[in-house]
Structure 1
Amino acid sequence: MTSDQQTDSTETASRNPAHVPLGDLAAVWPRVTAWLDRIRQLPSTQEEFTNRYGAFHDEESLSVFLYALVQAGILGHMLGTPADIRKRIAEDPDYLIGPRMPDECYGAVIWLAGRAGSRAGTIGITYDSLPMILDPGNGTPEQRAKALREILTSKGGIGPEADRTAGEAEQIRLRLEAVRDELAHCIGELHEHSPLPEAYRTIGGRPGEEEVARKEALIRDLREVHTTAHLVASALTRAGSVIERQRDVCANVPTVVTAVCRAGDDTQLSRHVWVGDILGSLMGNGSQWKAAQKAADDFVQRALVS
């Protein structure tokens, strides 16, 4: 494959709405959830921490560690887990289907998938309806072309609605990126100021059984927090990439329909075969949009049981 063919293949894939890998989101978010659950189980005040795990000589380093732990917990609430979202839905059944973007990133991702699926369904129906909309019995070529332009580009049409979804996707992508970067800083602090080295030294000094038990408890509770932390950043990076693909697919729609409506004359825009072919080649065909709707619906259904 030549470089030009590779570029064309990449561009075609980016236009295909069925190539938004929402399944990747379902696969990576459990890593985030598992890590956040471990963080939430750790005591975050110095008194609670030392009551559970015993005293530490380096109190300054422990203070930095606990501050980073608190910050990670706050960022965790900003990210959200399936359990968090289920709780919000219990309080507000319309939490994921209303016009307002949810507060948690995970809720926002599910909300976006629902909206993207709805847009995809509308586009799929539009493809199916082209023969009827552009039937010669429905007026002159000029009248049929005008009706098509309204469906594609007027307020509430598929172009502006897809553009709005693209903007929402970009907001969510930026939120994920910001939280990921802040969380990466917290994880760095947790590693740098970890009390684990002192816990190992204490055990090596052969203290009393109670102190050994406390330090061993810390090792059990904290070791996996450290060893799985890198998975969180990579999961959020992958999630951001999926949202970016969703943004690009949606942003392509208004670009294409506007260009087609401007470039096509009334005769071309009144023929459903011509319209279906050119739209399908530039932004995905009806079958691909229906596949995108199914993928989005499936993700939304699975997202709350992960």
Structure 2
Amino acid sequence: METLGTTELRLMQGLAQEVTAWRPELLNGDATVGELAWVWAKDFDALNRFWRHRLWFAGGRLAAWGWAHLPYQLPRDDGTLRESKTANLLWQAHPDSAALLSEILDWYDDVAGGGDRLLTVQSADAQAQAIVAAHGYAFDAKAGSDNGPWVQFNMRELTDVPDPALPDGFRFLAAQDVPAADAVNAHRAAWHTSSFTEGAFERVRRTWPYRADLHVLIAAPDGTLAATAIIWLDEATQTAEFEPVGTHRDFRRRGLGTALQLHGMQLARSAGAKRMLVACLGAPAHPEARNMYYGVGFRPLTRDLPQIKVAR
């Protein structure tokens, strides 16, 4: 299949739902319902020509998938380059079909070419760790170090969510309350290297299970959108996920991130969610987001173990 479209994406999200319901500790952090929707929708227009994918079926259901992101280099509006120099594999296998990871890796070797290959496995997934080692992968000591960009996956039950507290003059909004351009600018103000566009946001809004009432923002007294988060609600598993979460760089360290999460979790609970997921940098050198999530009740579920296969 040349293009990863909405049909394939929805199948991949369906597998995420099954793993979430049955063995959430085996769910890859980049293979959740919300993460798949966000990454696919925001990057499709710019990057889809650098993507390759394959689906594996068993008994009429999706049993595994691989999504290879090949190296690319694209110019930004400001003259800098957006680039990735290494192939990276996103993947997921149903726990009943875990051995299919071996076939995914063979396919990845074929499509990634001669360069270095990256992927991640979860710390709770001993079988995947053994399979990737047998295929020549080793723990990426740099990416997985105490200063590396590895990701920790966190979970929180929504049984007890305190009320949020905002500084005077700040107020909560939803994406349906603001122009699309303002929601895009709120994201870019929080993530200054982002190439997020109104066109990408339009695709996000059309991608299941996006809901404008669960895309939450905080407005400052002067009207600036000071914080933003999208909540992806999967009603089937009663699970919601924050992705992304960000605060305008001029409004940090005022408790806005904490308030936004508590507000978002209350909305998710009212919409039917019983638990919340969020990913963050897990390395000790990057404690800010992790400590914020701990402060609102999240606890670690699993973490990435970055793997690399160096080209010969």
Report the structure, 1 or 2, having the larger strand content: 2
TM-score (ref. length: structure 2): 0.23
